[in-house]
Every structure is written in structure tokens, then in C-alpha cells.
Structure 1
């Protein structure tokens, strides 16, 4: 998981992730990873509109946000 997150950081991608918080509540977050340190990541959370720290082991799944290109006519 950490290796994939490093690729996300290097490529400057937005990701959607499923995360389990300290109260065992599963949430969906859209984030932009800013820094990875040890077992945590620092990221801007678009869901909460704030910088947040996430524990890597609590990330259940994630996928990059794909921006669809529109055809110009």
C-alpha cells in the first residue's frame, strides 16, 4: 500500500479512498497526498476542506481520480 501511495505522491494525483477512522467508522474521502512519513500520510482532504493526517494501515482501498476529457466539436 505504501509503495502505491508513493507513486500517487510522485505523480501528484488526487485519489478517492475508503478509510476507517479512530471510531471504526468507514468514510469515503477525496485527498491529495502532500507527504508520507513512516506509517502516516499528510494530505489535503477535499471532503473536510482541511489538511489531515491518515494512518496508512487504516486505508481500506483507494483509486486515482480520472478526469475525463471532453471532445471539442
Structure 2
């Protein structure tokens, strides 16, 4: 189900917010633009790190689309 949400975001070029668990067990919230999905991982531009990063789908705990409101600035 998470992979389908990521795929839709990629197709729509929509920003998403994810909750992600690192290999060491740390949990972070990230705002991403999905660039590519391959097998069990995906590449995205991470607005928190201001760089492209690779994420493993099985370490994503939640995915939500970023809803832009008129005149609202997205960080």
C-alpha cells in the first residue's frame, strides 16, 4: 500500500511527507519529491537535507500527500 502511495505521488509530481525509520532505529519526518522508484527503494529530493536521498520502502512508516493551500508557503 505504501508503494502505491509513493507511485501515485511520483506520477502526479506531488510532494509527500513521510515518517521514516533509519537502519539504526531513529525516526524522522521528511518532506520529499519522489524522483524514481525501483524495486524495494526509491530516490527522492529531501527538503530537510536539501539533497537527493535513497530510501527503503520497508522503512517508511507513513506517507501523506502535502496539500498546498493558495498563498501558503511550503518549506
Q: TM-score, normalised by structure 1?
A: 0.91
1: CA distance between counterparts of 2:70 and 2:44?
26
Q: Once superposed, which parts of structure 1, at least 4 consecutive aligned residues long, lie more than 6 Å away?
A: none
Higher alpha-carbon Rg: 1
Cα deviations by residue, 1:1-55 (Å, 9 ceiling, x for unpaired): 1111111100000011100011100000000000000000000000011100000
1:51 partnered with 2:52: yes
- Contact 2:5–2:63, Cα closer than 8 Å, also in 1: no
Within 5 A, what are the aligned runs for 1:20-35? 20-35=21-36
Task: Flag structure 2 segments of 5+ consecutive residues without an equivalent.
Answer: none
Q: TM-score, normalised by structure 2?
A: 0.89
Within 5 A, what are the aligned runs for 1:1-73? 1-70=2-71
Task: Flag structure 1 segments of 5+ consecutive residues without an equivalent.
Answer: none
Aligned-residue RMSD, C-alpha: 0.8
1: CA distance between counterparts of 2:42 and 2:27?
17
